[in-house]
Amino acid sequence: MSKKDQKLIFEMSQPGRIGYSLPELDVPRKDAAELLPDGYVREEAPELPEVSELDIMRHYTALSKRNHGVDSGFYPLGSCTMKYNPKINEDIARLDGLAHIHPLQQEETVQGALELMYDLQEHLKEITGMDEVTLQPAAGAHGEWTGLMMIRAFHEANGDFNRTKVIVPDSAHGTNPASAAVAGFETVTVKSGEDGLVDLEDLKRVVDETTAALMLTNPNTLGLFEENILEMAEIIHGVGGKLYYDGANLNAVMSKARPGDMGFDVVHLNLHKTFTGPHGGGGPGSGPVGVKADLMPFLPKPVLVKKDGMYQFDNERPQSIGRVKPFYGNFGINVRAYTYIRSMGPDGLKAVTEYAVLNANYMMRRLAPYFDLPYNRHSKHEFVLSGRRQKKLGVRTLDIAKRLLDFGYHPPTIYFPLNVEECMMIEPTETESKETLDAFIEAMIQIAKEAEETPEVVQEAPHTTVIGRLDETLAARKPVLRYEKEQ
Ligand SMILES: *Cc1c(COP(=O)(O)O)cnc(C)c1O
C-alpha cells in the first residue's frame, strides 16, 4: 500500500479485534436500559472500528505526519501568530499541583493555582497598561464580545441607551464585526487610506453620539502601526465612545508601547498567540480582557481578588455582566502563559517584539523584488504582498499557496485583507531562525520564477501531498458525519 492510499480506520476494522484490556467486572452488571430514561438507549450498537492498539497508534501517527503544525514546519499564517510553543510550558502545566486539582475544590486548598492566575493578571496589567484584567474569556473573539458587553453595560449604567454602533476599520480581523453583531451592535465600517491606516476624515464622518466604541487592531492586519491613535482616541472619547484594542497579536508592540497609555479603555490578548499557548485545532484558547478603572464594575464575575492574604473569587459584583465561562477560563493555557512570561522576563519580552518586527521586515524586503508590495513602509510583526503581477501570468495567489505545500510550508493567510488584490499576509514570528526565513524566501522566489517560466507547475500544485486540491467549502457545508460502507 502506498502512502497515498492510507485506509480509513473503519476499513481496517476486523470483527472482534480490540485495542484494550479491561480488568474483569467486579460489580453487578447493569444494562443501559436500566440506567437511562426511556428513549435514550440505542436500539443498535454503534458501528465502531475494531482495531488493535498497534493499528490505532500507527493510524494516527500516519495521519499526524500528513498534518502541518508549528512543531513540524514553518507556519507563516498572518494575523495568527503561529509561533513555537516552548516545551517547558508543557512540563509546568503537567505538575501534579496544577494538573490534578479540581475547579470545585475549596479556595483554601488551591491557593497556589489562584496565586498563579492572580500574578498572571498582574503581569498582563503591566504589559497592557490597564487597571484590571479577567482571565475568563476562552478565546480572542470571546474576549471581544466580553469587552463589548462591558462597554454596553457602562453606557447603560450612565442612562445612555442610544449607543447602538461599533466602528470597525475595513482592515480589522473578521472576528471584530462578528463580535459586535453578536453583542447586539450595528457595525459601521471605516475606510483605510492609501497608506493602509485608518482614514481620519472618514472616521470623523461616521462618529456621533450613537457611537458605542471603536474597535481597533494595532498593528492592523496589514501589519502597519496605526500612527494616529491619539487623534482617534480624541475623536471617539470626544463623543463619549470607548476605545477597544484588539491585542491578539501583541508581539509587535509588547514592552515597547501599551494600549493603556494610548488611551484605550478595553483590550483583549490572545494567550494562545502572543503568549505561546498551543494554538489551532479549535483550542483551548484564552482571551483575557483588560479594562480601565471606569469599566471595572462591569467585569465578568467572579473576579479573582486578594483579601487578607488569601486569594478568593469575589461574586459581590452587582453591576457585573455576569459569568462568561465556566470556572475561571482555561487554566492550562494560563499556566503556559505564566511560565512563558516568567521564563522570558521583561528583557526577553522586549526581544520578542524586536525579533518579530525584524523578521517580518527582513522577509518583506527580500521578497519585494519578486512580488508587489502594496504598502511600501516598515511593517510590524506581519506584512502583506500582492500577487497581482503573477495574476497577469495566469497564476493566482491560491496557486502560490498550494505550491508552497510542495516545499513543506503551511501557506500564509491569503485573500485577506480584502482591500489588497490577490493578497498574501505573511507573519514569520520571532521564533524562527534566519536559515528558516531564508529557506522560505528561496521557495517563494522559485515560485515567482515558475510563474514566469512554467506557470502550469504552479497552477497544478500541489504535486507532493496526499490529496491535491480540495473543494474549499464542501467540507464545511457537507461534513461527513457517518462512514458508510461501500456495498
Ligand atoms: C486571532 C485573532 C482574533 C480572534 O482570536 P480567536 O482566539 O481565534 O477567537 C482576533 N483578532 C485578531 C487580530 C486575531 O489575529
CA of 269 to the centre of ligand 1 (A): 9
* Residue of minimum CA distance from atom 4 in ligand 1: 140
Question: Which atom of ligand 1 approaches the CA of 273 most closely?
Answer: 1
The yes-or-no verdict on residue 399 having pLDDT over 70 is: yes
Sign of the dihedral through C-alpha 352, 244, 169, 194: negative
DSSP string covering 13-42: --TT--S--PPPP-S----HHHHS-TT-S-
Domain range for 16: 1-66
Question: Which atom of ligand 1 approaches the CA of 142 most closely?
Answer: 9
Question: Which atom of ligand 1 approaches the CA of 221 most closely?
Answer: 13
What confidence score (pLDDT) does residue 484 get?
Answer: 66
User: Which of 343, 365, 385 marks a domain boundary?
Assistant: 343
The yes-or-no verdict on residue 282 having pLDDT over 60 is: no
The yes-or-no verdict on residue 486 having pLDDT over 80 is: no
77 lies in a domain? no
* Cell, residue 154: 457602562
CA of 414 to the centre of ligand 1 (A): 16
At 302-359, the pLDDT tens digits run 999 999 999 999 999 999 999 999 889 999 999 999 999 999 999 999 999 999 999 9
Is the Cβ–Cβ distance between 450 and 457 less than 8 Å?
yes
* Residue of minimum CA distance from atom 14 in ligand 1: 248
**Within 6 Å (CB) of ligand 1, which residues are found?**
79-80, 139-141, 173, 175, 217, 246, 248-249, 270, 285, 287
78 lies in a domain? no
76 lies in a domain? no
Across 92-112, average pLDDT: 95
Question: Which atom of ligand 1 approaches the CA of 79 most closely?
Answer: 15
What confidence score (pLDDT) does residue 281 get?
Answer: 60
How does the average pLDDT of the chain come out, rounded?
A: 93
Instruction: Looking at the structure, tell me whether residues 264 and 315 fall in a common domain.
Output: yes
Across 183-191, average pLDDT: 96
Residue 424's φ and ψ, nearest 5 degrees, are -125, 125
Instruction: Looking at the structure, tell me whether residues 237 and 307 fall in a common domain.
Output: yes
Instruction: Looking at the structure, tell me whether residues 156 and 49 fall in a common domain.
Output: no
Instruction: Looking at the structure, tell me whether residues 100 and 207 fall in a common domain.
Output: yes
Q: What single-letter DSSP state applies at residue 442?
A: H
* Cell, residue 487: 456495498
Question: Which atom of ligand 1 approaches the CA of 287 most closely?
Answer: 7
Test site for ligand 1: of 79, 81, 266, most ligand atoms within 8 A of the Cβ: 79
* Cell, residue 236: 471617539
360 lies in a domain? yes
* Cell, residue 385: 504582498
The yes-or-no verdict on residue 77 having pLDDT over 70 is: yes
CA of 243 to the centre of ligand 1 (A): 17
42 lies in a domain? yes
CA of 142 to the centre of ligand 1 (A): 9
Instruction: Looking at the structure, tell me whether residues 184 and 259 fall in a common domain.
Output: yes
The CATH number of whichever domain residue 190 belongs to comes to 3.40.640.10
* Residue of minimum CA distance from atom 3 in ligand 1: 140
CA of 266 to the centre of ligand 1 (A): 15
At 348-380, the pLDDT tens digits run 999 999 999 999 999 999 999 999 999 999 999
At 193-219, the pLDDT tens digits run 888 899 999 999 999 999 999 999 988
Instruction: Looking at the structure, tell me whether residues 97 and 145 fall in a common domain.
Output: yes
81 lies in a domain? no
What confidence score (pLDDT) does residue 1 get?
Answer: 45
Residue type at 178 in one-letter notation: A
* Residue of minimum CA distance from atom 2 in ligand 1: 248
CA of 446 to the centre of ligand 1 (A): 32
Please state which of the ranges 65-79, 159-173, 371-385 shows the lowest mean pLDDT: 65-79
Is the Cβ–Cβ distance between 382 and 360 less than 8 Å?
yes
**Which candidate, 124, 176, 173, places its Cα nearest to that of 288?**
124
83 lies in a domain? no
The yes-or-no verdict on residue 68 having pLDDT over 90 is: no
Is the Cβ–Cβ distance between 54 and 40 less than 8 Å?
no
Q: Burial, 16: exposed, middle or buried (Cβ in 10 Å; 0-12, 13-18, 19+)?
A: exposed
Instruction: Looking at the structure, tell me whether residues 293 and 318 fall in a common domain.
Output: yes
* Residue of minimum CA distance from atom 6 in ligand 1: 140
Test site for ligand 1: of 80, 246, 268, most ligand atoms within 8 A of the Cβ: 246
* Residue of minimum CA distance from atom 5 in ligand 1: 140
Q: What's the domain count of the chain?
A: 3
CA of 125 to the centre of ligand 1 (A): 20
Sign of the dihedral through C-alpha 449, 451, 454, 456: positive
Instruction: Looking at the structure, tell me whether residues 258 and 171 fall in a common domain.
Output: yes
Please indicate whether residue 27 or residue 476 has the higher confidence score (pLDDT): 27
C-alpha span between 267 and 185 (Å, rounded): 18
Instruction: Looking at the structure, tell me whether residues 135 and 279 fall in a common domain.
Output: yes
Instruction: Looking at the structure, tell me whether residues 215 and 294 fall in a common domain.
Output: yes
71 lies in a domain? no
Per cent of the chain over pLDDT 70 is: 97
Q: Which long-range contacts (CB under 8 A, 24 or more apart) does 437-443 make?
A: 437/359, 437/362, 437/363, 439/74, 440/74, 440/76, 440/363, 440/407, 440/409, 441/363, 441/366, 441/367, 443/404, 443/407, 443/409
User: Which of 294, 315, 343 marks a domain boundary?
Assistant: 343
C-alpha span between 149 and 320 (Å, rounded): 10
At 259-280, the pLDDT tens digits run 999 999 999 999 999 999 988 6
Instruction: Looking at the structure, tell me whether residues 250 and 106 fall in a common domain.
Output: yes
Per cent of the chain over pLDDT 90 is: 80
Instruction: Looking at the structure, tell me whether residues 368 and 266 fall in a common domain.
Output: no
Please indicate whether residue 70 or residue 266 has the higher confidence score (pLDDT): 266
What confidence score (pLDDT) does residue 481 get?
Answer: 66
Across 178-197, average pLDDT: 94
Question: Which atom of ligand 1 approaches the CA of 172 most closely?
Answer: 13
Q: What is the 3-state secondary structure (H, E, C) of 287-347?
A: CCEEECHHHHHHCCCCEEEEECCEEEEECCCCCCCCCCCCCCCCHHHHHHHHHHHHHHHHH
Is the Cβ–Cβ distance between 386 and 421 less than 8 Å?
yes
CA of 338 to the centre of ligand 1 (A): 20
At 23-45, the pLDDT tens digits run 999 999 988 888 999 889 988 88
Question: Which atom of ligand 1 approaches the CA of 143 most closely?
Answer: 9
User: Which of 343, 376, 409 marks a domain boundary?
Assistant: 343
CA of 275 to the centre of ligand 1 (A): 13
* Residue of minimum CA distance from atom 15 in ligand 1: 79
